[in-house]
Amino acid sequence: MAKQAPQSDPAQDAPKVGAPQRAAAGLTAVRQSLKLAHEQMGPARTLATLAKVNQQGGFDCPGCAWPEPDKPHTAEFCENGAKAVAEEATERRITRAFFAEHSVAELAGRSGYWLGQQGRLTEPMLLAEDATHYAPIGWDEAFAIIAEELEALATPDGAAFYTSGRTSNEAAFSYQLFARKLGTNNLPDCSNMCHESSGSALVETLGVGKGSVSLKDLYQADLIIVAGQNPGTNHPRMLSALERAKRAGATIVSVNPLPEAGLERFKNPQHARGLVGGGTKLTDLFLQIRLGGDLALFRALNQLILAADGGVDRDFVAEHCHGFDEFAAEATSTDRQQVLAATGLPWEQIEQLAELVLKSKKVIVCWAMGLTQHRHSVPTIREVVNFLLLRGNVGRPGAGVCPVRGHSNVQGDRTMGIFERPAAAFLDALEREFGFEPPREHGFDAVESIRAMRDGRVKVFFAMGGNFVAATPDTEVTEAAMRQCRLTVQVSTKLNRSHLVTGRRALILPTLGRTDRDHTEAGGQFVTVEDSMGMVHSSQGRLRPPAPGILSEVAIVCRLARAVLGPADPTPWEEFATSYDTVRDRIARVVPGFADFNTRVRAPGGFALPHGPRDSRTFPTATGKANFTVNTMTAPEVPAGRLLLQTLRSHDQYNTTIYGLDDRYRGITGGRRVVLVNPLDAAELGLTEGGYVDLVSEWRDGVARRAPHFKVVHYPVARGGAAAYYPETNVLIPLDSTAEISNTPTSKAVVIRFQPDSGV
Ligand SMILES: Nc1nc2c(c(=O)[nH]1)N[C@H]1C(S)=C(S)[C@@H](COP(=O)(O)OP(=O)(O)OC[C@H]3O[C@@H](n4cnc5c(=O)[nH]c(N)nc54)[C@H](O)[C@@H]3O)O[C@H]1N2
Ligand SMILES: Nc1nc2c(c(=O)[nH]1)N[C@H]1C(S)=C(S)[C@@H](COP(=O)(O)OP(=O)(O)OC[C@H]3O[C@@H](n4cnc5c(=O)[nH]c(N)nc54)[C@H](O)[C@@H]3O)O[C@H]1N2
Ligand SMILES: [Mo]
């Protein structure tokens, strides 16, 4: 068995600490993106790719899900988009010789950063039972092995089919169809660990689990609250939108335990004024909230709005909402001391924000992982909805909910049916279109899949992209669970840890990425994606694929489906794999909002999916109205001598893909094993700046989970909290520590204590 790997190399772990920056982007960002692109792709490929990112007729940036403006700037990408492209379009290759040279055990001792640097995967590889090395295998043999293992299962629910959010609509639709024809709803996805809490809260309250604003709304808003999000690093193109909103007169408030450079000031690299000079100040009011204090903050705002003369939009509430009285009774009784303790904010600041709200006609709340990865995330987001409903800030221009999605097609994958708890109407439509009875019982989400593997209930694990063992919590538990499987299969572009922690047998199936040309017998194919604001558009790569014979994700699904379901299965899998138009024709008949898909997606810029609350203030909820909810006030409790740890992203990573070892805006370079703590907390806990410590998490199961060797960095984080990077710290997050209702791991709330450094 491979030993527990360091997620980062000790040699690369001598982080240096400078002052955090006060502004994002500018010339340094341009220089950084070109440097990385050149290293990975060379000058010609750099030009050929970066000129096509997010352009009409080009490919969708594999970075984030932020939408494209109607008229994209000629450089509609950002530093981190360029890194994502370079990571995929690299000219480095992993061949069979690489796998012959390096055993799986050896590779399992390498960091994720090193693995990613080795280049693109080029041919299917099998790790046979008891083998020490991966060896090449043909596609047909690979599909035959998967078919054999699936057939050996006592029930189709003994398999789980994971999806990471880069998968195209066409691949996702075919994939879920295959899983359901096989007979299971075990379709966990990265969303389970990401915006599931947003989906849960929004479906219940507004009837649609997606954001209700478009870019135009942002430009028209009076007030934009950005809570629990670091767009300077994770959605850099959002800064251009915020800059434009700001120039049109919007006020921007950020709510975050950390002062994030990107929200303070933005030097837009697409304009001369952003390259020289001081840039645009973005944040007008910064609320440095304690971790997990947002429910209390929004409760307090709601209390103040309810108390203000004319604070509530009575007509909207009467006509469109349900449950106002119960909500109002609860919110009115909010206890101020509790709010102060939970938020750590001065009351005057909360009042100041309430005044801004009461002055504003059009308010938008944007959020990401800072709100979704807590135990009480669903009630928190429900309270955000209460806040917007109170003043009619849903379904009118310049106002609404804006959960900012992560992976570039994570929202589209869900629309296509990648969901372990599909709606009955969706299954009915599948049944009608494809003439089979889809399973109705709910399947496993990501956390439940790990439990099922651990307990031997899932024996075959198949991943459409992603890096499951590194992205999920409780690394040791998850890795042990993975090793319980009979077969693990990873459809991937790049090598990662999930290829090295495997079942008894394992397959690596290399696939095309966004930037690659996809040519079939029917000619050049494009795929489609849906962005964070419900816009669907096409994406077509132009680069020569990394090796001949690499299959697209659609082709992999279709050939697998044929191998497993047999020649008699009536779905035309061969046609699907050859012409993606034929998949889109089916999507058009199954998924609401996609009528005439093939025609409309060919229009420049694509098309917008319908959204009842946004378009016509119709709310497809259980009550037929927008639902106010009553949310008991709660905040994380942290025993004395402990801190609450949030696990977040550095500027040089894409989830588990590490691009480099710097976190430029936070002033950290050359290493990732750092823990950011407030100097006052550090003093109380006896943590010396620059010293090394082990992080040990505490959970009711009594297991002491340990992440060794982190350098203490004094940083202006809100009191009582600490921050360190994911995925190095995933080992600390207990599998059972998840959000109520959404079951999302509490990646932003782990109780930790500090122990003397035990080295790596
Ligand atoms: N370059 C790059 N881009 C990415 C990604 C990447 O890794 N790299 N990942 C993609 C994905 S999948 C996603 S989901 C998004 C993630 O985008 P983000 O959600 O911005 O990512 P995180 O780094 O997790 O940052 C969380 C932010 O929330 C704050 N926060 C933490 N806890 C709380 C809290 O309790 N309250 C409040 N108010 N704030 C809090 C943190 O200080 C931090 O600023 O980005 C996507 N885009
Ligand atoms: N502690 C902690 N854990 C977290 C989070 C956190 O904030 N803290 N965030 C969570 C969130 S928001 C998310 S979304 C998940 C992310 O979880 P995942 O989506 O599973 O992880 P990624 O690191 O994005 O996956 C990277 C891998 O995807 C493969 N890949 C890249 N592009 C393609 C493609 O086009 N096709 C295919 N087939 N494969 C491709 C490459 O092999 C690459 O190694 O992690 C979650 N885990
Ligand atoms: Mo995400």
pLDDT digits (tens, 9 = 90+) for 201-230: 999 999 999 999 999 999 999 999 999 999
- pLDDT recorded at residue 4: 45
- pLDDT recorded at residue 2: 36
| Residue 229 located in a structural domain | yes
Give me the sign of the Cα torsion angle 279, 284, 288, 291.
Answer: negative
Query: With pLDDT > 90 as the criterion, what percentage of the chain qualifies?
Result: 85
| Residue 618 located in a structural domain | no
Q: Of the bound ligands, which one is closest to the alpha carbon of residue 471?
A: 2
- pLDDT recorded at residue 365: 98
Token pair of 497, please?
Answer: 């840890």
Rounded to an integer, the average pLDDT of 482-494 is: 98
| 65 and 112 both lie in a single domain | no
Rounded to an integer, the average pLDDT of 290-301 is: 98
**What confidence category does residue 322 fall into, taking pLDDT thresholds of 50, 70 and 90?**
very high
Tell me the sheet residues that pair with 523: 520
- pLDDT recorded at residue 12: 60
**Number of domains the chain is built from:** 4
| 668 and 743 both lie in a single domain | yes
| 104 and 175 both lie in a single domain | yes
Alpha carbon of 724 to ligand 3 centroid (Å):
17
Residues 6 or more apart from 616 whose CB is under 8 A from it? 395
Ligand 1 near 748 CB (within 6 A): yes
More confident site: 589 or 40: 589
CB atoms within 10 A of CB 759: 8
| 674 and 693 both lie in a single domain | yes
Ligand 1 near 648 CB (within 6 A): yes
Tell me the sheet residues that pair with 401: 365
- Domain CATH code at residue 545: 3.40.50.740
Q: Average the pLDDT over each of 80-84, 257-261, 573-577, 652-656 and give the range with the smallest value.
A: 80-84
Q: Of the bound ligands, which one is closest to the alpha carbon of residue 189?
A: 2
* Residue from 33, 195, 369, 383 to probe ligand 1 pocket by mutation (most atoms less than 8 Å from CB): 369
| 224 and 281 both lie in a single domain | yes
Please check the confidence at residue 54 and state whether its pLDDT lies above 70.
yes
Which phi and psi (to 5°) does residue 563 adopt?
A: -65, -35
More confident site: 89 or 393: 393
- pLDDT recorded at residue 736: 98
**Cis upstream peptide for 403 (omega within 30°):** no
- Domain CATH code at residue 687: 2.40.40.20
Ligand 2 is surrounded, with C-beta below 6 A, by 164, 166, 190, 193-194, 369, 406-407, 464-468, 471, 491-494, 496, 511, 513-514, 553, 647, 655-657, 726, 729-730, 733, 747
Rounded to an integer, the average pLDDT of 163-177 is: 98
| Residue 7 located in a structural domain | no
Rounded to an integer, the average pLDDT of 377-405 is: 98
| 211 and 352 both lie in a single domain | yes
Ligand 1 near 294 CB (within 6 A): yes
| 250 and 375 both lie in a single domain | yes
Strands 527-530 and 125-127: unpaired
**What confidence category does residue 277 fall into, taking pLDDT thresholds of 50, 70 and 90?**
low
Chain Cα centroid distance, residue 599: 30
| 574 and 516 both lie in a single domain | yes
| 218 and 307 both lie in a single domain | yes
- Domain CATH code at residue 223: 3.40.228.10
Q: What's the whole-number average pLDDT of the chain?
A: 94
| 416 and 500 both lie in a single domain | yes
Please check the confidence at residue 161 and state whether its pLDDT lies above 60.
yes
pLDDT per residue over 502-512, tens digit each?
Answer: 999 999 999 99
**Cis upstream peptide for 439 (omega within 30°):** no
| Residue 607 located in a structural domain | no
What residue owns the CA closest to ligand 1's atom 19?
369
Please check the confidence at residue 126 and state whether its pLDDT lies above 70.
yes
Ligand 1 near 645 CB (within 6 A): no
More confident site: 458 or 27: 458
- pLDDT recorded at residue 28: 75
Alpha carbon of 658 to ligand 3 centroid (Å):
15
- pLDDT recorded at residue 730: 98
Rounded to an integer, the average pLDDT of 84-102 is: 94
| Residue 609 located in a structural domain | no
- pLDDT recorded at residue 60: 86
pLDDT per residue over 702-760, tens digit each?
Answer: 999 999 999 999 999 999 999 999 999 999 999 999 999 999 999 999 999 999 999 87
| Residue 677 located in a structural domain | yes
What residue owns the CA closest to ligand 2's atom 27?
466
Nearest CA to 224 among 254, 264, 198, 248?
Answer: 254
- pLDDT recorded at residue 20: 83
pLDDT per residue over 599-639, tens digit each?
Answer: 999 999 899 999 999 999 999 999 999 999 999 999 999 99
Nearest CA to 112 among 654, 731, 650, 657?
Answer: 657
- pLDDT recorded at residue 33: 75
Alpha carbon of 751 to ligand 1 centroid (Å):
19
Alpha carbon of 522 to ligand 2 centroid (Å):
32
**What confidence category does residue 61 fall into, taking pLDDT thresholds of 50, 70 and 90?**
confident
| 38 and 103 both lie in a single domain | no
Please check the confidence at residue 10 and state whether its pLDDT lies above 60.
no
| Residue 214 located in a structural domain | yes
**Which parts of 228-274 are beta strand (E)?**
251-255, 265-267
d(CA 564, CA 305): 58
| 260 and 305 both lie in a single domain | yes
Residues 6 or more apart from 90 whose CB is under 8 A from it? 40, 41, 119, 120
d(CA 50, CA 66): 17
| Residue 67 located in a structural domain | yes
Please check the confidence at residue 5 and state whether its pLDDT lies above 70.
no
pLDDT per residue over 730-743, tens digit each?
Answer: 999 999 999 999 99
Question: Which domain range does residue 220 map to?
Answer: 196-407+623-627
What residue owns the CA closest to ligand 1's atom 12?
406
**What confidence category does residue 32 fall into, taking pLDDT thresholds of 50, 70 and 90?**
confident
Which phi and psi (to 5°) does residue 604 adopt?
A: -55, 130
